[in-house]
Amino acid sequence: MQYNDYEISLIRQSCLLVEKTLAELALHIRPGITTIELDRIADEFIRANNAIPAFKGYRKFPKSVCISVNDEVVHGIPGERIIAEGDIVSVDCGVLMNGFFGDSAFTFPVGDISEEIAALLRVTRESLDLAIQSAVAGNRVGDISFAVQSHVEKNGYSAVRDLVGHGVGKNLHERPDIPNYGKRGNGPALKEGMVIAIEPMINMGEYNVYTKKDKWTVVAKDGKPSAHYEHTVVVRKGKAEILTSFELIEEAVKKNVQNPLAMSGVPISIGT
């Protein structure tokens, strides 16, 4: 779906609240906290800012954010799990405000993580940046997909194939789907004003996944770590417009002295 500038301004407001919510969580993610406590913080923060958690109740999802740890790829249901030193924690957040949705995700390293896992996070971030460079009018969805797949596979990782990015705006999920694998020049045409959520979900091992008995949590089949980053962007001529940002999140992580990104070996900024 294509949106006009006024509608995009409303989507941008929702995206800013998503960023602020993830930044609020960044202040609290540390060893010893439970994922349900993080969900409570996110829920209260979103509602205090006159918005609604987009995920809660969506297709009967029971919580306000998705929190996926280590080999969990996406859609983790917050619960009594205690975050531990060395974990990586992917938080996917969406809000509904003024009739429009915003959507973003970030993977947080908890304290010291291995260089191997830090590299996975870095390459996943890089693949998102490269994908956004291809999100311009005149290209096709396959150009975005190829950008992700080619970069991660070159570095020895795999792009999950069972899950995709998507259009976003008046609905949380709209057309077109944005796979993280594909061929250049294939798929729907990208047009000025389209708003899409690009979200590389990258496994350290194979791309095969399965869903837990809770019917939501998607896990890497080989048990190896998985990373997930997501931006909502507007397709423009020449250069995509990024509506979400990681800037506030990264600033918050620096403030959280018990969980600094600098300790993890992951660069604070990679392009966006």
Residue 120 sits in a domain of what CATH number?
Answer: 3.90.230.10
Tally of structural domains, the chain: 1
What local confidence, expressed as pLDDT, does residue 257 receive? 53
The rounded distance, in Å, linking the Cα atoms of 137 and 189 is: 8
What mean pLDDT is predicted for residues 169-196?
98
The yes-or-no verdict on residue 259 having pLDDT over 90 is no
Least confident of 184-198, 236-250, 252-266: 252-266
What mean pLDDT is predicted for residues 246-268?
68
What local confidence, expressed as pLDDT, does residue 267 receive? 45
Displacement of CA 153 from its chain's centroid (Å): 19
| Secondary structure letter of residue 245 according to DSSP | -
> Contact 92/61 with Cβ under 8 angstroms?
no
What mean pLDDT is predicted for residues 42-58?
98
The yes-or-no verdict on residue 271 having pLDDT over 70 is no
Question: Position 263: which residue type?
Answer: M
The yes-or-no verdict on residue 272 having pLDDT over 70 is no
Structural domain of 151? 5-264
Question: Position 252: which residue type?
Answer: A
What's the mean pLDDT when you consider all of the chain?
Answer: 94
Asked whether residue 271 is assigned to any structural domain, the reply reads: no
